[in-house]
Amino acid sequence: MTSASSKRVTLITGCSSGIGRASALAFAEAGDRVYASMRDLSKAESLLEEAQQRNIAVIPVELDVTSSDSVEYAINQIIAKEGALNIVVNNAGIQRAGAFETLSDVQVRDVMETNFFGVLNVTRSVLPHMRKQSAGRILMMSSLSGWAGLAGDSIYAASKFAVEGFTEALRLEVARWGIELALIEPAGYKTDLMASRNRADASESGPYAEFNAQLGETLSNDAANAGDADEVAQLLVTISRSTSDQFRWPVGRVAETIQSTLFAADDGQRDKVLRSAADIDWWVIGERVKPSN
Residue 144 has a pLDDT of: 85
Mean pLDDT over the full length of the chain? 86
The CA-based angle 5-10-11, given to 5 degrees, is 130
Query: Is residue 253 within 8 Å of residue 189, measured between CB atoms?
Result: no
Q: Which of the 8 DSSP states describes residue 179? A: E
Catalytic option among 35, 156, 189, 208: 156
Q: Alpha-carbon dihedral of residues 262, 139, 115, 29, nearest 10 degrees?
A: 110
Q: 265 to each of 78, 110, 233, 248, 262, how far by Cα in Å?
A: 46, 33, 30, 19, 5
Reply yes or no on whether 189 is catalytic: no
Dihedrals φ, ψ of 31, to 5°?
105, 0
Distance CA 202, CA 184 (A): 32
Residue 189 has a pLDDT of: 56
Residues 28-54 have a mean pLDDT of: 96
Dihedrals φ, ψ of 136, to 5°?
155, 155
Residue 245 has a pLDDT of: 87
H or E stretch covering 279 = none
pLDDT in tens, 182-241: 999 988 655 554 444 444 444 556 889 888 888 877 777 665 555 688 999 999 999 999
Percent of all residues in the chain with a pLDDT value above 90, rounded to a whole number = 60
Distance CA 220, CA 274 (A): 19
The answer on pLDDT for 51 being more than 60 is yes
Q: How many CB atoms lie within 10 A of CB 50?
A: 15
Q: Which residue has the higher pLDDT, 130 or 248?
A: 130
Which CATH number applies to 9-259: 3.30.465.10, 3.40.50.720, 3.40.50.12780, 3.90.320.10?
3.40.50.720
> Facing residues of 11 across strands?
35, 88
Residue 187 has a pLDDT of: 80
pTM of the model: 0.84
Distance CA 232, CA 186 (A): 7
Residue 39 has a pLDDT of: 95
The answer on pLDDT for 154 being more than 90 is yes
Residue 221 has a pLDDT of: 66
pLDDT in tens, 92-126: 999 998 999 999 999 999 999 999 999 999 999 99
Residue 293 has a pLDDT of: 44
Residue 194 has a pLDDT of: 42
Distance CA 182, CA 134 (A): 17
For 79, the 3-state DSSP assignment is: helix
Query: Is residue 27 within 8 Å of residue 237, measured between CB atoms?
Result: yes
Q: Which of the 8 DSSP states describes residue 89? A: E
Letter for the amino acid at 18? G
The answer on pLDDT for 287 being more than 70 is no
State the pLDDT confidence band at 273, using cuts at 50, 70 and 90: confident
Residue 1 has a pLDDT of: 38
Residue 209 has a pLDDT of: 87
Residue 65 has a pLDDT of: 98
CA 144 to the chain's CA centroid: 10
